[in-house]
DNA sequence: GCCAACGTTGGC
DNA sequence: GCCAACGTTGGC
């Protein structure tokens, strides 16, 4: 069995927050709306059931990692991409020939306190984290196991 | 609201 | 295939 992989997924809390996820039936949702090829490829090709996800609030005050989720369903077509009325509609994607994919995630944990970007920048073990790279905009990105573990430890210390 | 850093589009 | 113009992301 393949090893568990670690990821980080961004969302603007004004459009979908970790609290929204917590309010879902079974605390599950489909991660629709990704319209970037690199992010899509990670979701479509590499995410497996059981992988762990750091849940990140972008464009928030402050921007922060706010919790952890788990992949509960592997990639399938993002049906919102061929829905004309959807904000993420893409005329080049159809049900017959889907261009965009999504996964299902389930909430695992909301941190007692969010871990702000500022705090993360001051942690040596996270120096090379993709999230902290200047100009990093990827909304779905891989995280190293050490980075993931470090983040969890930091979250625990807050208690 | 500004703007740097991307990614995408489309004319050539 | 190049690259200018344009659009988006996201911290500040």
CA A102 to chain centre: 11
CA distance A83 to A22: 26
Pick the more confident residue, A83 or A53: A53
Tell me the CATH number at A83.
3.10.590.10
DSSP structure string for A26-45: GGEEE------HHHHHIIII
A60 within a domain of the structure (yes/no): yes
Q: Is the pLDDT of residue A92 over 90?
A: no
Measure, in angstroms, how far nucleotide C8 C1' is from residue A26 CA. Answer: 33
Number of folded domains in chain A?
A: 1
Instruction: Tell me what percent of the residues of chain A surpass a pLDDT of 70.
Output: 98
A1 within a domain of the structure (yes/no): no
Q: What is the pLDDT of residue A159?
A: 53
CA distance A17 to A40: 20
Domain containing A39 equals: 6-157
Give the nearest nucleotide to A135, CA to C1': B5
Q: For A39-49, write each residue's pLDDT tens digit.
A: 999 999 999 99
A19 within a domain of the structure (yes/no): yes
Pure H helices in A113-158 = 117-121, 145-157
The answer to whether A13 CB is within 7 Å of strand C is no
Q: For A100-113, write each residue's pLDDT tens digit.
A: 999 999 999 999 99
Q: What is the pLDDT of residue A87?
A: 85
């Amino acid at each position: 069995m393949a090893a568990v992989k670690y990821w980080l997924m961004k969302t603007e809390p004004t459009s979908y927050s970790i609290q929204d996820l917590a309010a879902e039936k079974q605390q599950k949702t489909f991660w629709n709306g990704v319209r970037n090829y690199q992010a899509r490829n990670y979701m479509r090709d590499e995410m497996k059931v059981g992988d762990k996800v750091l849940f990140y609030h972008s464009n928030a005050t402050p921007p922060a990692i706010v919790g952890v989720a788990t992949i509960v369903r592997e990639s399938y077509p993002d049906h919102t991409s061929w829905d004309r009325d959807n904000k993420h509609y893409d005329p080049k994607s159809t049900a017959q020939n889907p261009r965009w994919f999504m996964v299902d995630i389930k909430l695992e944990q909301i941190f007692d306190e969010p871990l702000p970007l500022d705090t993360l920048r001051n942690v040596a073990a996270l120096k090379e984290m993709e999230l902290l790279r200047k100009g990093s905009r990827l909304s779905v990105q891989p995280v190293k196991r050490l980075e993931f573990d470090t983040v969890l430890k930091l979250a625990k210390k807050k208690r």
